[in-house]
Amino acid sequence: MLSRFKLLICAVMSVSALAQEPVTWTQSLQLDKVMIDVTVEEVSRQLNFPWAVTGLPDDRLLITEKPGRLRIWQNGNLSAPLEGLPDVYYASQGGLLDVIIDPEFSQNDWIYFSYAYQSDGGNTTRLMKAKMQPDGLKQQTVLFEVQPYKDTPVHYGGRLAMLPDNTLVMTTGDGFDYREQAQKPNSLLGKTVRLTLEGNIPNNNPFVGQADHRAEIYTLGHRNPQGLAYDSQRQVLWLHEHGPRGGDELNALERGKNYGWPIATYGKDYSGANITPFQEYPGTENAVRVWTPSIAPSGLAIFRSDSVPALDGALLIGTLVDRDIKVLLPDQTPQVERSLLAPLNYRIRDVWVQGQVIWAVTDEEQGRLLKITLEQRPIQGDNRSHIF
């Protein structure tokens, strides 16, 4: 559909990014014969290290804050933290992580969220189910925890996605110092796991009944996956993960497949040493896209829109190092990737698409909630001399 994706920036900022007043910012993306007008509104700067944002059926938003708070955004207001959250292990990369809602939320009020948990045996990633009531969370139940425990407060994974058959997939990190366990089928580190909404193991998981294999495992060979989204039109479960020094990956997951870490990677260790001599390896899957140097991908959403058809099906990828939302059209040859928010210089932690609106949260002590709207229009006259 799009052979070229050209960028025409017409940026206007009402105040600088360092000011304390809300920001409204615009730019225009030119794609062949259409222009996409992008408007960014900073609607809140009251969040404390937000980690995830998701939508409710009545257009409210649920937002997690890493220190262990769950809040609701509604009609321009941010709620007080909801009661009933478990104690989370808030240290380094640990804390309250992702949240998603039940497919029948309008009838049953169930939500699912991941968080870091610590005990005398170390720390891990847990998955909890709870009913969201007006006075807080009720009927809290731990559905799952990653084993073995570890002693490193990093690489938790924790992203969640719902599949069409009403099963749930969660990513798990490799714990950094335990990267070899990403290849071990009897360990839950460095994997994606698939569960029923009651926390049971589906009978058709790929390793059910295999000796020395954890039956929860859906895919293996991951480092620290922090982006996960099911694409209903392509019928693809997309995952992106942090590489080490380079080698960030976007993968299209298939059940039972091995995605290579750490025996195959385009990244190097932080010391500059080679982790492995192999960028690709027999029996492991190649990434759909690799970023070197690292962009630090965090948060992933699929944009679907009849009113902005030029970007229909684009993957929206939040980035922490590149401080941007990447717009990726993976079906193009070569793949098309452009910047959406780079001039704002915000560490984007998560991205959510709600109807025609893109919501994003920033990774900072006074975290921002951004409302991003797109409008497509035909190009008036010949603007090609202004394209760069």
| Residues that are catalytic | 155
The alpha carbons of the chain give a radius of gyration, in whole angstroms, of 21
> Residue with structure tokens 């990677």?
265
CA angle at 18 for the pair 16 and 23, rounded to the nearest 5°: 50
For residue 169, how far is the Cα from the chain centroid? 13
The partner residues of 362 in beta bridges, in order of sequence, read: 348
Measured between alpha carbons, how far is 164 from 136 in angstroms, rounded to an integer? 28
Measured between alpha carbons, how far is 30 from 348 in angstroms, rounded to an integer? 23
**Tokens linked to 259:** 């995605």
Measured between alpha carbons, how far is 331 from 318 in angstroms, rounded to an integer? 19
104: left (phi over 0), alpha (psi -120 to 50) or beta: alpha
CA angle at 264 for the pair 259 and 265, rounded to the nearest 5°: 95
